[in-house]
Amino acid sequence: MSAPVPITSKLDAAIIDVTGQDVPLCGQLLVSATEPVHPATSTGSSDYPVPDYGYYMPRLGTKYRKKLGLTAQQVEWLDKFWPPHNVFVATEGCCVATVQLYLRALPLLEAELLRTGASLAQVVAHSQQESLRLRKAMPNPYGYGWGEYDERYLQEQTEAAIYSTLFRRCENVVREAYGNKRKLAAEFSGLDGPLAAAVEQQLGEPLDALLPNLVATIAAPDEATEVELNLQNVTRWKQQLDQLAAQLSAATTREFVEVVNRLGQRNARNPALEHIFFEASKLVAKFDREEALRFYVQYVHHDLNSATVNNKPLTKTIQKSLFPQPEHLQRFEALISQLTRDKDVSQALSQVPTVYARERRKIELNLSAIREVQYQHAGTVELLNEYLQDEPEAAVPSLADAPPAPLVVGAVPGDEIQLSVPVPAPNESFAAAGGAFVATWGLNAPQSALLAYFGEQGLVLLQSSVETFAKQHGTLRNQLIDGINERCYAHLDDVLIEEDGDTYTIYEPYYQQLATPC
């Protein structure tokens, strides 16, 4: 009976490696994912070659040679192993970034090795010979020797194991830079134990030392890649939002809003999309109330369209800061109710400013009553004119210089009418507070005087009046108003003086709070 011979023919293609490792099976039955064989069937795993449909999947060097303008050496380095199969490198942008980092790292690794007197190719060639020596030293249960094909096959497999491991380490660095926390195993597991330790020392450790310095060269992912990455890792947005929150301030609020909206667009296919806007609403609440409400409106919109409706409310503390008056909360609740019914998020966002809009009192003039009053007092006006003409020496202003006759709103014939409208007396409760907050809140003389002026006028002043007041005190209107708001914001956590059309107003509870000594 003749001795068995190594399987070196097409029968190799019928053997499927179920170990998941790029190592030959014991007994000289050499199978490797690095050899372009034609398997009869596929295991369904992304780690094994695809079924044979009459063509081969190109290796990375061949695939990107023209697109990236690769040199012959770069193509050779990339074609040393079959492309990895995972969802990360299946994304075009991630694969290109990994390829570029790999091609930047290998020349540096080559230069580092040359300092010790050996090139990368020489280290790999030595590893191939050592792998063959170690494998031949193993006992052969079948009793036959090694053929030429077996030796070549093992050498190719050893080379592929080394270069693919270097590529995986580059991929892990790109994963980290792109916010993908799931890393690949990147040990030289395709080599025998003693050889793996030697290659780790010769190639692995120098490469690990070089890669951190190359992180800055990794290009940021484009929009399509961002969408894919966010779909692969549905919590990836948390890291990005935390970075934005660390830089958030009153001065950066506009930029924060823009970036969060872009973050939402990049997570359009992410089932956790609504949580981005909910967290952003909480973060920006202390800096911009309207933007906080807009983010919450978007949260409600996406939550209503999600598989599970959470309907999370804002905390009581945040609600208190967002809605200083009860009517503000009532208006916003009505807005959310309308959004829930009609699902029109654009309409809801446009209505957010109305939550804080001030309601003006409507005054209706009774024109018939006005004409009646003018008719009744026509004789009185003529009599006064006669008295003034009889006494020209008296320093009495003429009727032409007097203020116009008063308009009586809602008057009816028969009511007792006065000839002039009395000037309303200052609000004593407000005016009395004029000196109480000066020392407590650290206001200067013009600032405290303007607050006292507000108190005298019922906490409402025309902008023109404030302009005149500021000029009289040698300052600018906006500078005076902003200075008061800055002084009081730390205590009120809100703006004291608000601009409302052509007037400035102060919310009465805030003024009373200022007037109460601490």
Question: Looking up tokens 């509870």, which residue turns up?
Answer: 509
pLDDT value of position 383: 65
Q: Shortest CA distance to 62 belongs to which of 46, 88, 80?
A: 80
Contact between 322 and 314 (Cβ < 8 Å): yes
Given 3-state DSSP classes, what are the helix, strand and coil percentages for the chain, each rounded to the nearest 5? 60, 0, 40
pLDDT value of position 5: 36
Query: Which residues of the chain fall short of a pLDDT of 70?
Result: 1-56, 140-147, 359-440, 516-518
H helix or E strand, kind and range, residue 461: strand 460-462
Distances (CA, A) of 303 to 25, 236, 268, 316, 511: 53, 19, 13, 20, 40
H helix or E strand, kind and range, residue 240: helix 236-246
Report the residue count for the chain: 518
Q: Shortest CA distance to 305 belongs to which of 349, 270, 257, 331?
A: 270
pTM greater than the 0.85 cutoff: no
pLDDT value of position 436: 54
pLDDT value of position 77: 96
Q: Are strands 460-462 and 497-500 parallel, antiparallel or unpaired?
A: unpaired
